[in-house]
């Protein structure tokens, strides 16, 4: 069970990092959002035939799928790193909720170990999400620093010119390096 959850998180990391490539329109977003809600209602109805912990597990899976589905849609729709990071966290929380429910079938030390493993997996996945966020921020900062340094070099080269040529050179540097 633990290896399966870990592999789901690894796939989630790759999926979250590639989400921005699949932007969608508002109409597609609303349609997909309605489909996620319909899928949740269907899954929830399927759980009603079950009993005891099997029903609890089924409900946790249904709720988790709905939350993950909505988070995936938001990440695809906005393409924002913040929403992609939120998706990773939601996946971790959903997997933890299901794993924790599955632990209820066990007793004693086996149950305690199961719950600890599930929690450890959630913590690791959330840490991965935090690390991804930190790396993205550091990469963005580094790119900004590089652009600023290159802009300063370009403007310095313009100082060798005069008049309209200098003005055109500075304007070109501002455009090239996004310095409004």
Q: What are the sequence ranges of the domains in the chain? A: 2-122
CB 62 within 8 A of CB 45: no
- pTM of the entire predicted model: 0.59
Residues 136-167 pLDDT 10s: 767 777 788 888 888 888 888 898 889 999 99
Q: What pLDDT is recorded for position 57?
A: 92
Give pLDDT, residue 22.
56
In this prediction, residue 14 carries a pLDDT of: 45
CB-CB contact of 127 with 134 (8 Å): no
- What is the predicted pLDDT for the residue at 20? 42
Confidence of residue 64 (pLDDT cuts 50, 70, 90): very high
Q: Mean pLDDT across the chain, nearest whole number?
A: 82
> Cα dist. 106→23, 36, 62, 100 in Å?
43, 32, 22, 10
Check if the beta carbon of residue 110 is closer than 8 Å to that of residue 9. Answer: no
Write out pLDDT tens, residues 27-52. Answer: 888 999 999 999 999 998 999 889 89
User: What is the predicted pLDDT for the residue at 23?
Assistant: 67
What percent of the chain is modeled with pLDDT above 90? 25
Distances (CA, A) of 29 to 20, 41, 69, 147, 148: 14, 19, 11, 35, 37
pLDDT at 70 (0 to 100): 92
């Amino acid at each position: 069970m633990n290896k399966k959850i870990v592999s789901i998180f690894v796939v989630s990391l790759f999926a979250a990092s590639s989400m921005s490539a699949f932007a969608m329109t508002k109409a597609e977003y609303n349609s997909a959002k309605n489909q996620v809600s319909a899928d949740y209602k269907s899954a929830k109805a399927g759980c009603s035939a079950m009993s005891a912990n099997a029903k609890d597990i089924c409900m946790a899976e249904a709720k988790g799928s709905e939350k993950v589905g909505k988070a995936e849609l938001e990440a695809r729709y906005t393409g924002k790193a913040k929403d992609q990071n939120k998706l990773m966290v939601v996946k971790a929380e959903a997997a933890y909720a299901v794993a924790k429910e599955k632990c209820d079938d066990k007793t004693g030390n086996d149950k305690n170990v199961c719950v600890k493993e599930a929690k450890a997996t959630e913590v690791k996945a959330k840490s991965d999400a935090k690390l991804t966020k930190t790396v993205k921020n550091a990469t963005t900062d580094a790119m900004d620093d590089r652009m600023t340094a290159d802009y300063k070099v370009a403007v310095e080269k313009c100082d060798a010119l005069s008049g309209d040529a200098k003005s055109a050179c500075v304007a070109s540097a501002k455009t090239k390096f996004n310095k409004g």
